[in-house]
Structure formats: C-alpha cells, structure tokens
Structure 1
Amino acid sequence: MVQNHVAPVAKQQPAGVKQIVTIRLDVDMLEWFKAAGPGYQTRINQVLREHMDAQRAAEAAGN
C-alpha cells in the first residue's frame, strides 16, 4: 500500500513560485502529457497540485 503522505516543508512557498527540479517519470506518462502539446510541464504541475489539494482536504476532514 502506498502512503499518501508528504513530509511538511519548513517554509511553504506561495502558489506560482516555481523551482526547477529533476524528476524521473515513467516514459509512457511523460509521452502522454507531451502528446497534448506545449505546456505539458504546467499540466503535470496542475495534476500534482490537484492531488495535493485533495489529500489536504481529506486530512482536514480526518480521513
């Protein structure tokens, strides 16, 4: 079972502040995002943010 927990960050940055990172993704997933055209990194960020927001909401609700 995969835990859906991310360790708290000492200082959280406001949304919109970007940091360049290197991340390893499955080839098929990256190809799928790229196939939708320019902006694939923004779309990946959006999917991750939506997941984070859902996890935070679940934690706040006590789930």
Structure 2
Amino acid sequence: MDKMKRKIKELEVDIEENKEKSKKQVENNKKDKNIEKKIKLVTKDRLIGRFIEEGKMPQCYRE
C-alpha cells in the first residue's frame, strides 16, 4: 500500500512538471509567432520599398 501511494505521488509530480513544461512551450510558440509576423512585415515593407524605388510595383501590392 505504501508503494502505491509513493508511486501515485511520483506520477502527480510528473504531471505537474509536464504541465509547467507545456505552458512554457506555449509561451515560446507565441513569442516565435510574433517574431515571424514582425519578420514578414519587415520583408514585405522592404519589398514594397524596393518596387517603389524601381517603379515596378506589382498589382497585388497596389492600393
């Protein structure tokens, strides 16, 4: 009986550790997505700026 209780406590601790790890992973994924969005915006702005300089603005970027 004592072994079972000990094993249950170990499993509960493992579950808590896994919950914390998954929360950290979710936070990191959100940060990564935000960084990706910023990178996409910067590269899109650079593309548009280059096209404007060359006078060759593609139809999809014209407003």
Max radius of gyration: which structure? 2
User: The TM-score by the shorter chain falls in which range?
Assistant: 0.3 to 0.5
Larger fraction in helix: 2
Scaled by the length of structure 2, the TM-score of the pair is 0.39
Scaled by the length of structure 1, the TM-score of the pair is 0.39
Say which structure, 1 or 2, has more relative contact order (CA 8 Å, 6+ apart). Answer: 1
